[in-house]
Amino acid sequence: MPFPRTSGILLHPTSFPSQFGIGDFGSEAYRFVDFLVESKQQLWQILPLGPTGDSNSPYASYSAIAGNPLLISPQLLYDRGLIAEDFTNLPKFSTERVDFSQVIQTKIPILQKACKNFRTSATSSQQQEFQEFCQSQAYWLNDYALFMALKDAHNGASWNTWEMAIAQRKPEAIKQWQQRLADEVFYHKYLQFEFFLQWSQLKRYANQREIQILGDIAIYVAHDSADVWANPGNFCLDEQTGEPALMAGTPPDYFSATGQLWGNPVYNWVRLQQENFKWWVQRFQSMLNYVDLIRIDHFRGFQAYWAVKQGETTAMNGSWLEAPGEAFFEVLKQKLGNLPIIAEDLGEITPEVYALRDRFEFPGMKILQFAFGDASAEKRFLPFNYQSNCVVYTGTHDNDTTVGWFNQLLPSEKEQVLAYLGCQSQSGIHWDLIRLALSSVANQAIIPLQDVLGLDTEARMNFPGKTVGSWGWRYQSAALTPEVSDRLRAMTETYGRAIE
């Protein structure tokens, strides 16, 4: 499904300014949408919105469909009369980074109060809205809410360490725990109701201003998730322990001599195909209810995936196994029509993966930072090698910022970049790379907000392979200046990416 010539900004909602220590769906989110409009952007790319675990990574969620309650705006709850506080006694949060533990300690009690007040004083129309939400989302919400209530009851322990009867979802155990945790299950359903209510209102605001939202679907789900607990047959698990029998990852390459061992269970594709990919179709359908376009992370895993047996401590001793990607995307097309999908096709990609991508006309990704440097430079990322059906980025959430990246290049590598750009000066390198992206033939160009603002390495979103220090970056409320907006708008118009 080729896309029109457009551009946009990559920014996860946790990065918004707010008084609660983490970005949310409140006023600053709407202000950001206004900034997109003023800058003549048409796309807003986000990371996965699911509830995160201890790593705080959007790619390690307790659910493939649920939303992260920490993104709920307390101010909007207050405006709706669900909490009485005026928030004058909040702790002093950092305005530059998210302290996730401090945010949880502050926001969860607020959300608990909102739930209590909703339960006792919601209007009849609010109660009806809630009931309709629970009914329409029951296919995932019931399992998710019970799973989260059970995790709380087991002090956060992974589901496969629970008593065998509930870990294996024996009907009698399910019934007993549902009765025992009825209030807690209601609470988790309520949080999802508020999350999707606030998100839907924000998305509607964006869409009305001709901003489309590009969501992100992680190919794998976390082992400790409602998805694996509720649908164990969809995954390759050890029947005795519930641990992944085969783990996902990537083989050794020039980035890592031992590969990457992610630990997620790989899919039981035989079972999924026998059920006509029902679980996957529901996942895409639910996402398309809340975003306009979808980026598939690790797209190559739909053609073949690296599988490592349980017990291995690195990804070295794995093997490639084929996935029924063509059959899956045919079913998806039959069920949902031509899909607005972008394929993340980075890393070591085979002709078979490209063939799968091209068969369904999914645009791939081009990263300008990868085009320059020493032996790791990949000429396929230089703009003169692009076809129009692709998406160009200066960098992604996994890269350093453009300023940080450039500052760490060797002098000879910097000269190579400047020669390609036709620049003499090293100042304003972020705008030079933004210009290179916007002027390319790629149908879509997406720029991380950090690059629009010209920020250094301290604003990096993620450090792949590091277990701490990622996902916390936030921008300052005063950063979205008219000067920045005007410059981005002028460049967008110059290179034919603005709506006429």
Classify strands 293-297 and 212-218 as parallel, antiparallel or unpaired.
Answer: parallel
User: What separation, in Å, do the N-terminal and C-terminal C-alpha atoms of the chain show?
Assistant: 22
Which residues make beta-bridge pairs with 296?
A: 217, 343
Would you call 54 a catalytic residue per the annotation? no
> Residue 345 — φ and ψ, nearest 5°?
-115, 45
Query: CA-to-CA distance for 57 and 97, rounded, in angstroms?
Result: 14
Among residues 24, 143, 216, 344, the one annotated as catalytic is 344
Write the Ramachandran bin of 238: left for phi over 0, alpha for psi from -120 to 50, otherwise beta: beta
Among residues 143, 224, 297, 451, the one annotated as catalytic is 297
**Which residue, 283, 159, 289, is CA-closest to 232?**
159
10-46 in b/e burial notation, b at 16+ Cβ within 10 A? bbbbbbbbbebbbbbbbbbbbebbbbbbebbbbbbbb
CA atoms within 13 A on the CB side of 492: 28
Among residues 398, 413, 456, 493, the one annotated as catalytic is 398
Query: CA-to-CA distance for 107 and 68, rounded, in angstroms?
Result: 12
For residues 56 and 100, the answer to whether their CB atoms sit within 8 Å is: yes
Would you call 79 a catalytic residue per the annotation? no
> Residue 325 — φ and ψ, nearest 5°?
-60, -45
For the chain, the farthest-separated pair of C-alpha atoms sits apart, in whole angstroms, at: 73
Tokens 């509930």 belong to residue: 166
Would you call 361 a catalytic residue per the annotation? no
For residue 307, give every residue at least 6 positions away whose Cβ sits within 8 Å of its Cβ, in sequence order, or none: 236, 246, 247, 248, 266, 318, 319, 320, 321
For residue 36, give every residue at least 6 positions away whose Cβ sits within 8 Å of its Cβ, in sequence order, or none: 8, 9, 42, 44, 206, 209, 211
What is each CA distance from 164 to 159, 168, 251, in whole angstroms? 10, 6, 34
3-state secondary structure of 406: helix
**Which residue, 382, 486, 402, 360, is CA-closest to 442?**
382
Tokens standing for 466? 């590091």
CA atoms within 13 A on the CB side of 270: 2
Strand ordering across the sheet containing 318-322: 260-265, 246-250, 304-309, 318-322
Which residues make beta-bridge pairs with 97?
A: 473
Supply the residues annotated as catalytic. Answer: 297, 344, 398
